Amino acid sequence: MTATRILATSVGLLCLACAVSAEGLPEKYKTAGKVVVANQPNYPPMEYVDPATNTLMGVDIDLGLALAKHLGVTVEWADIGFEQMVSSLETGRVDLIHSGMSDLPKRRETMDFVDYMKSGAQFYTVTARAGEFASIADFCGKTVGMSRRTSFPDEAKKWSDATCVANGKPELIVVGTEGSADARTQLKQGRLDGAVQGSETLPYLLTLEPDTYAVIGEPFTAVYQGIGFAKDATDLRDAYAAALSALIASGEYKTIFEKYGLGGTMLDAVRINGEPLN
């Protein structure tokens, strides 16, 4: 059974700014006064539970609250396993997904995305072995772990085919792990030569465990991360896109990303399914 975390925000519904902001929001959400958002807080600094206060923190949390406040509603966070998020959206259990999800073409078959940041898959290893990898091509033939619930295994296989196999080198040995924490544990145990994680999370990881890991090269993919909506929820999607545009224009978006040291991942403008708004 999954738990639901409800985090209410004080919203001045009678203020003119909030009334104007809420105009594009479908009536059902205005009446409910909230949106139910799928999120699994195990991906710092995007979403995590602060051990000192047991409260939700992260870029997605701060941004999700700011967007909802702009739209005049509160957020009910639904803690749902990543692999169940899409089905929860399709069945109406949640209204949207905001949980470090990559906007991938295959996901657009069943969802629409409001893109809010850029990301990429990044190789890293333990500091003691960093000297073995002058470039990411040195991972050819090595055993590398990554969360099996993400798009990383497929992306790593494509990278291996193009970089390793096509150049006569042994293919990358991809190990699907139970999550990024599991990959790090196996890496430190010496069961893996390296690991792959989202480039947006590694700076935070390095501050948590200094002198433990070394990032190798540049990300080998370039993707957007997006807020996911059901295909028939275009009004809600467009309301969120407009709210995000407003936060970018006001500077609040920048403040949130810089708070977590992710200024380099920001977008200049909102995109829907990878395409800029007209």
Residues 66 and 82 in one domain: yes
Residues 113 and 242 in one domain: yes
Residues 170 and 194 in one domain: yes
Neighbouring-strand partners of residue 197: 122
pLDDT in tens, 122-176: 999 999 999 999 999 999 999 999 999 888 999 999 999 999 999 999 999 999 9
Q: What percent of the chain has pLDDT over 90?
A: 81
47-50 and 42-43 beta bridge pairing: antiparallel
**By residue range, what is the domain housing residue 159?**
121-215
Rounded-to-integer distance, Cα 87 and Cα 5, Å: 19
Contact between 171 and 164 under an 8 Å Cβ cutoff? The reply is yes
Residues 30 and 110 in one domain: yes
Copy the structure tokens of residue 177. Answer: 């792990």
Copy the structure tokens of residue 132. Answer: 């073995």
pLDDT for 250 equals: 97
Domain boundary among 164, 197, 215: 215
What residue type is assigned to position 65 of the chain? L
pLDDT in tens, 51-77: 899 999 999 999 999 999 999 999 999
CATH at 55: 3.40.190.10
Rounded mean pLDDT of 12-28? 56
Rounded-to-integer distance, Cα 214 and Cα 128, Å: 9
Length of the chain: 278
Rg (CA), the chain: 20
Domain boundary among 176, 199, 215: 215
Helix (H, G, I), strand (E, B) or coil at 149: coil
Residues 111 and 190 in one domain: no
Sequence-separated (6 or more) residues with CB below 8 Å from residue 198: 43, 100, 119, 120, 121, 122
Residues 130 and 197 in one domain: yes
Residues 145 and 235 in one domain: no
Sequence-separated (6 or more) residues with CB below 8 Å from residue 151: 102, 104, 223
Contact between 214 and 125 under an 8 Å Cβ cutoff? The reply is yes
Residue 16 pLDDT > 50: no
Residues 51 and 109 in one domain: yes
Residues 231 and 196 in one domain: no
Contact between 239 and 71 under an 8 Å Cβ cutoff? The reply is yes
- The H-assigned helical ranges of the chain are 16-21, 27-32, 59-71, 85-90, 152-163, 180-188, 202-208, 234-250, 252-259
Residues 173 and 271 in one domain: no
Residues 140 and 193 in one domain: yes
pLDDT in tens, 32-42: 999 999 999 98
Residues 146 and 19 in one domain: no
Overall number of domains in the chain: 2
